[in-house]
Amino acid sequence: MTKVKELANKYKDYTIALRRDFHMYPEASMKEYKTSGKILKELNKMNIECEKVADTGVIATIKGKGDGKTIALRADIDALEVKEENNVSYKSRNEGLMHACGHDGHTASLLTAAKILNDIKDEFSGSVKLIFQPGEEVALGAKKMITNGALEDVDGIFGIHIWNDLEAGKVSVEKGPRMASAGKFSINVEGKGGHGSMPHQGVDAVLVGSAIVMNLQSVVSREISPLDPSVLSVGIFNSGSRFNVMAGSAYLEGTTRCFNMEVNDRFEDIIKRIVNKTCETYKAKAKVKYEQLVIPTINDDFMSEIGENAVKKLKGLDAVSTYEKTTGGEDFSFYTVNTPSAFAFVGSKNEKKVDYYPHHHSKFDIDEEALLISSGLYAQFAIDFLNK
């Protein structure tokens, strides 16, 4: 048994208690004041150098026995606007808010990893930077933490996501694309209203909007290589006020997803071209807004190798799993732009112990045995990176 695994087992009760405490008191994105306060309190108990940054984020540093590289470990700390429906002792006590995506487990695991690394800091050279990040769910936190120096002097970064679609005891940290980009577009169509019985007198915004929806469906099928998985979906289409009134305006909103930065960078121009040309065809006008929420999360080959070896040390070869990339997005991706990185999925599904519900569901819960792996993996990855 490795020293890290031994300590992760030793601190099991601490990790679970922490996770349940965070679960009971969830806070919305960029408003994690009590959560960050609790994190600072725990770090101060360990005598670990720490500070609050970006209003509700925390950065801490553990220094080893001598100079060396710096590895960053990141956990997100925010919750979701979801009303919890679980009947458990640690059910959310903040009405309308819930840790429905596992961030409570991430936070508890990184604090436990801090405890482990602090215990054995004489066994590695270099530094471990702990990043407790707010606002992942709104894709604002990573950028804000980076602006506030989270990546200064960092040679690599590692993150995890407790994952309810992967069996407990399994970890996926393979190289290449892991999570998709997420773009958001909105379209305001300006037509000309009129009487529904005399459509020739106006410009029907419902017709124009419908044509835009249909024409946008050709983007993935005809403009992007079938070897580059991509998604373009329209989720909102609002127009009209009455059965015999021709609508003079329409509003559409949707999302894009992909795993390739070249494709990602083309979406905005393609959408604007199709919308404007479609409107021109029907004598309408449109305003298009495109936001890049997150970019693709792509694991570095070398960092993935470190991650897989860390999993083997903690749980053996059978724990290393392959898991298909997901079209969900993660703002961890912004840390990876200029920094070698890896992002791991830590399995938490165990239907013999916990009913299965997907992430963001009001009954989402995890097998807490996953916390031993996630806390140990944070620590083992850091040690292996620094000693590599």
pLDDT in tens, 256-275: 999 999 999 999 999 999 99
Cβ atoms of 370 and 331 closer than 8 Å: no
* Residue 331 is a catalytic residue: no
Phi, psi of 161 (to 5 degrees): -140, 120
3-state secondary structure of 308: helix
The pair of three-digit structure tokens given for residue 331, joined into one six-digit string: 């703002």
Residue 384 banded pLDDT, cuts 50, 70, 90: very high
Residue 289 has a CB neighbour count (10 Å cut-off) of: 12
**What is the C-alpha separation between 61 and 47, in angstroms, rounded?**
10
Residue 388 banded pLDDT, cuts 50, 70, 90: confident
The pair of three-digit structure tokens given for residue 340, joined into one six-digit string: 């070698």
Could you say which of 27, 42, 76, 78 is catalytic? 78
The pair of three-digit structure tokens given for residue 283, joined into one six-digit string: 């004598």
303-313 average pLDDT score: 98
**What is the C-alpha separation between 136 and 56, in angstroms, rounded?**
12
Note the pLDDT tens digit of each residue in 103-114.
999 999 999 999
Note the pLDDT tens digit of each residue in 113-163.
999 999 999 999 999 999 999 999 999 999 999 999 999 999 999 999 999
Q: pTM to 2 decimals?
A: 0.94
Could you say which of 136, 174, 300, 367 is catalytic? 136
Domain annotation for the chain: domains and CATH numbers: 3-179+297-387 (3.40.630.10), 182-294 (3.30.70.360)
Residue 18 banded pLDDT, cuts 50, 70, 90: very high
Residue 58 has a CB neighbour count (10 Å cut-off) of: 28
Amino acid at 332: F
**What is the C-alpha separation between 11 and 2, in angstroms, rounded?**
14
- Does residue 2 register a pLDDT over 90? no
213-223 average pLDDT score: 97
**What is the C-alpha separation between 30 and 142, in angstroms, rounded?**
11
CA 260, distance to chain mean position in Å, is: 17
* Residue 155 is a catalytic residue: no
**In sequence order, what are the beta bridge partners of 62?**
128
Q: E strands within 152-240? A: 156-167, 171-172, 176-180, 182-190, 194-195, 230-239
What pLDDT score does 1 carry?
A: 72
- Does residue 67 register a pLDDT over 90? yes
